[in-house]
Amino acid sequence: MGFTLWNESMKKIIIRSPNYIVMNKKFILKCLALASISFFVSCHRENPANPDDDNNTSATTHVYVAGNTGYTFNAGPAVCWEDGIQHVLDPDAFETARAACVIGNDVYYGGCNANEQPVIWKNGVAQKMSEGNGRVSGLTTAGGKLYACGTVDQKPVYWVDGQIHYLDEDPSASSDYTTTAITVSGGNIYVSGYLGNEYNSAKGAYLWKNGSLQKLSTKASKACDVCVYNNTVYVVGSESYTSGGIQKSVMWVNGAIRDIQVTTNNGLGSEASAVAIKDGKPYVVLKGFVGGAYDGYWKGFAWYNETVTALPNCSNPTDVFIHNNDVYIAGYNDSFTSYEGPVLLKNLEFVPLTNSANDGHCYSVYVK
């Protein structure tokens, strides 16, 4: 951004007074140095999944979390936590609030209403996105615009400032899609998702680029999140690795798949749920089943720089956001330990959330 401003300024100098350039070499060199610094800062986005979140060095940081207060993991009521304080978005919402985003002074959350229609809450006021059944499952911002992904009548869609666009469908599959995340990079719009829904087995992981579909796997699989950094597209999720359909955590890097190992032989299953970029490398959160079939349980992990770290009091991490080199992780704990309920971690330390004891789930976190 700084480089663009300098470049425009230089154009004005060249056009208006070419002799001024020769007479003010020191000034130009100073501009060049400042431009170089600004260009570096603007390109060093620690969370490219949220393009408008540059390295903000403001002393005030605000944390926005979307979720629910119900015992059922994906049901309403829809709530949010802003700086740890809970607010009810819709007490009658059919599903949880699933996504969060901020543009300027406006705060957005995505989900669905009591009539199972996709909505975006802007500063607490619901805006219905379609008359059909569906949900808003992902939000992001770029260039001052709000991008959302979701489903309408089981078809995959995305919205740009409220304008709906339908994503390509697999001609060999039925119309039963789940979209999971959206990001914008280099003018391109990326959406992750899969065939199937949360109530049955995932049947195929997909990535859409500007609406065009790419099938990531021919096995039962899920694509749960996407981010782009330095022209590299990272998609995380899971893929079946046994005849019984047990899933293991995987990451697709520009379409090439690799395992993300978190437990010995992947235990009885694992699933990567979200990815962000920290110091140029993917930071992935995931859940893995540890222990035996009868005494085992789900446990949350972070995978970064080929190293696995167990998450405290978090069996199901659902989202990760990097801001000013701090790592924020949203999720919930249901492992029958001392704490059950919504979880927000900052640098692996538990962050208190009001009205959350033994109830509810966090699904998305956005920091600004």
Give φ, ψ of 83 to 5 degrees.
Answer: 55, 40
Q: Each residue of 40-63: pLDDT tens digit?
A: 222 223 455 554 454 454 569 999
d(CA 211, CA 162): 16
Chain-centre distance for alpha carbon 342: 17
CB within 8 Å of 343: residues ≥ 6 apart: 313, 314, 317, 329, 330, 331, 332, 333, 350, 362
In the chain, the percentage of residues whose pLDDT exceeds 90 is 67
pLDDT bin (cut points 50, 70, 90) of residue 30 is: very low
- pLDDT value at residue 294: 81
pLDDT number for residue 347: 98
pLDDT at 23 over 80: no
**Residue pair 238/271 in contact by the 8 Å Cβ criterion:** yes
pLDDT (tens digit per residue) in 254-285: 999 999 988 666 667 899 999 999 999 999 99
User: pTM of the full predicted structure?
Assistant: 0.85
Name the β-bridge partners of 209: 190, 212
Alpha carbon distance 125, 119 (integer Å): 10
Is pLDDT at 228 greater than 80 in this prediction?
A: yes
Residue-wise pLDDT tens digits, 176-191: 999 999 999 999 999 9
The model's confidence at residue 293, banded by pLDDT at 50, 70 and 90, is confident
